Chains A and B, each alone.
Chain A
Amino acid sequence: MAIAARGLGKDYGPIAALDDVTLDIPAGQHVVLLGPNGAGKSTLLRLLATLALPSAGTLTLLGQDATRGDRLALLRRLGVVSHQTFLYDHLTALENLVLYARLYGLGHPGRVAASALEDAGLRGRAADQVRTFSRGMQQRLAIARALLHDPDIVLLDEPFTGLDRASGDALESRLRSERGRRTCVLSTHDFDRGLRCADRVVVLAAGRLVADRPAAGLDAARLLALFREATGQADPGGRA
């Protein structure tokens, strides 16, 4: 199992953001997290990224207890993408990637960064500051940054938010090409894209896991019905 969560919970003061979530994700599987706003998707991803400590339960990532032990070793095998880019506006595309290549201790940071830019189709803009990039280009660069160190697990929090159609399609095909190669956990409001990227659908509502199905055999209409039944909410929620 790449990810094994047992009874995972997280409280923020009096409110449980996540409650008793048990989830096993085998290596290479792509899981899409669905749920209304505030269902706990982001909280779950934060716990998986070891950015927050669980208040209850255990979390094993890549066979290692995520709450103790060598956190830095674990971080080397995790990649995170959010709808925020993490990129520095006043650094060039290349400088951003080289910075992260160095932070991850990769050999030949310049070469690694250049080839990642090539893959992202941004070679022509390598020397331009990121603030001059369109939203779609920034997101491509953000994904290149997250995959720079070839992580085993990739966590994506609402990566489609704010992307135009073409950039969304590009991200989607990128994710589909990663199927089987890396473990991916993706949260989104976009049912269609979510279904196309994932092997498995997990629905959260009010901090709890309310549905867990294989993606195969589900279409958007069935998924919406499942979502309504599981969450009691009529629509997938706003675009956060």
Chain B
Amino acid sequence: MSYLRAVWLFAAKDLKTELRSREQVVTLLFFALLMLVVFNFAFDFTIIDFTTLGAGILWVCFIFSGVLALNRSFQIEREQDRIQGILLAPIDRSAFYLGKVAATVVVMSAVEAILVPLSVILFNFQFSDRIGIAIAVLILNTIGFAAVGTLFAAMTTRTRRGELLLPLLLFPATVPIALAAVKSTTHVLAGRPFARYSSWIGLSCAYDLIFLAAAVLLFDHVMEE
């Protein structure tokens, strides 16, 4: 069986599980929404322009719900020892990693797809002609976050304090992605020309490629017993 097909099988399996355990998806969305509302109370947006703070607020919501999604995704593999079944299949383990990354990106993108329009309503800002580049920025940075997050979650979720350890390790390591995401998103929200933030896009691309490649090489060592 081809490698890419295995990646697809793992991603599809995860997404099917997500879709069918609806209460999980709803909980995740509700958590992200709640954070957005808390921020709405915390800052007075009648005097602050959303474009200055909005990107930061959105990405804090995305990143926190991303950590929840990652923790749960690996928790599912731990239950009933499903991970053992996967490790015993005659498949390169990095295919499992890439499948997980893909599924995480889709789940986080779904949260983003709901949160962004909602924040348009909640925070009352104009945003319509820049959807294409906004989606590109969101996905590019979500991939970087998911790439490192999946690698780390594969380790932390095997420890007793896993839920706490994952953000502890992940947040510092994804500082470049967080900065690039917030900066690019700010520029997109403010409608500035692409040239103003193209170097940030470049940084996100570099981050994605470097850590996807590193993780594919390192994942075998992570999963070994």
Interface residues of A (CB under 8 A from B): 46, 49, 51-53, 72-73, 75-76, 78, 80, 82, 84-91, 95, 99-100, 102-105, 129, 145
Contact = CB atoms under 8 A, between A and B. Distances in A.
A161 to B, nearest CB: 13
A84 B88 CA distance: 14
B90 interface: yes
B20 A84 contact: no
Contacts, number: 73
A88 B82 contact: yes
B contact residues, range: 20 to 34
B129 interface: no
B225 A86 contact: no
A85 B88 contact: no
Contacts of A49: 88
Interface in B1-23: 1, 5-6, 9, 13, 16-17, 20-21
Contacts of A80: 84-85, 88
A197 B224 CA distance: 32
A99 B20 contact: no
B195 interface: no
Contact of A51 (B17, B21, B84): B84
B16 A95 contact: yes
A79 B81 CA distance: 15
A46 B90 CA distance: 16
19 contacts: A51-B87, A53-B225, A72-B91, A73-B90, A78-B88, A80-B84, A82-B84, A86-B82, A87-B80, A88-B76, A89-B17, A90-B16, A90-B17, A91-B20, A103-B1, A103-B86, A103-B91, A104-B90, A105-B1
A239 B13 CA distance: 33
Interface in B85-105: 85-92
Contacts of A102: 1, 5, 9
Contact of B84 (A86, A88, A99): A86
A88 B87 CA distance: 15
A53 to B, nearest CB: 7
A85 B76 CA distance: 13
Contacts of A145: 85
Interface in B37-96: 76, 79-82, 84-92
A110 B73 CA distance: 26
Given A52-B225, A99-B13, A90 B21 contact: yes
Nearest to B76: A88
A82 B81 contact: yes
Contact of B89 (A87, A95, A104): A104
A84 B17 contact: no
Contact of A100 (B17, B89, B224): B89
Interface string B156-174: 0000000000000000000
A52 B5 CA distance: 27
A86 B9 CA distance: 16
B84 A75 contact: no
B185 to A, nearest CB: 33
Nearest to B2: A105
Contacts of A105: 1, 90
Contacts of A85: 80-81
A206 B91 CA distance: 34
Contact of A129 (B9, B20, B85): B20
